[in-house]
Amino acid sequence: MNINLQNIENSSHILLLADNSSFFNASALYTYLLTLHKKVSLQTEEELPKKFSFAPWFEKVRLLAKSNAEYIVEVNDNTQKLYTFFVENEIKINQKMATSLYAGMLEQFKIFSSPECDGMVFATVSQLIGLGAEHKKCKDYLLYAQPLSFLRLKSLLLGTLILREEAKVAELFLSDKQLKESGAKLEDAYALMDDALRVIHVKEVRLIKSDENNKILKILKEKI
């Protein structure tokens, strides 16, 4: 994500393009741009999960459409980098921005269980809490607020788990029938791959579409 401060200054209407993984960063940027009295639009290519509804500007998100914005920012999911951008450019981080960034850190580092978590991550989190981030609300929604459809798919999908290659590889088998019965989405299945990666000895998880000739939809590997 390249943010050009000169382009921001010269533009009256700015469009933020995000997806599920980068929404919280877009929320923080949205708040910042409003403090500059800019017109801001926030668009995504997919519907956001309901558990994101606590975040500032959730209700402002629109599905991708034509726009007459003068400057377009394609937002990515690197919250740590965005926080550093704000600090290095002496941009004041208010409570809404801090909350969005804290939520982004939770998502980026998988509720702080990711092996990529280090001292810098926790130092950033501490700073965000000091700036007023509503950290309890973030955790309650992202960790506990799961829709029934997600839990139904979890039961169905984890029931198909097979371990291979001396239990180092876990395979999950997904079908359209499972998605229909649970009411969940493909993105929910991707999220459930993290659970399989926590099984002891497992280093790689494969999501396989059982009704499409066992096509591999995604591979998730343990980060070292």
| Three-class secondary structure assignment of 132-190 | CCCHHHHHHHHHHCCCHHHHHHHHHHHCCCEEECCCCEEEEEECHHHHHHHCCCHHHHH
CATH number at residue 190: 3.10.310.30
Task: Tell me, yes or no, whether 103 and 184 share the same domain.
Answer: no
65-113 pLDDT, tens digit per residue, is 888 999 999 999 999 999 999 999 999 999 999 999 999 999 888 888 7
Task: Tell me, yes or no, whether 152 and 139 share the same domain.
Answer: no
Cα 138 from Cα 46, distance rounded (Å): 21
Contact present, 188 and 202 (Cβ < 8 Å): no
Task: Tell me, yes or no, whether 99 and 203 share the same domain.
Answer: no
151-206 pLDDT, tens digit per residue, is 899 999 999 999 999 999 999 999 999 999 999 889 889 989 988 988 999 999 99
Question: 213 is in which domain, residue-wise?
Answer: 148-221
Total number of domains in the chain? 2
CATH number at residue 19: 3.90.1640.10
Task: Tell me, yes or no, whether 100 and 169 share the same domain.
Answer: no
Task: Tell me, yes or no, whether 34 and 64 share the same domain.
Answer: yes
Task: Tell me, yes or no, whether 10 and 29 share the same domain.
Answer: yes
**Residue 186, number of CB atoms within 10 A of its CB:** 15
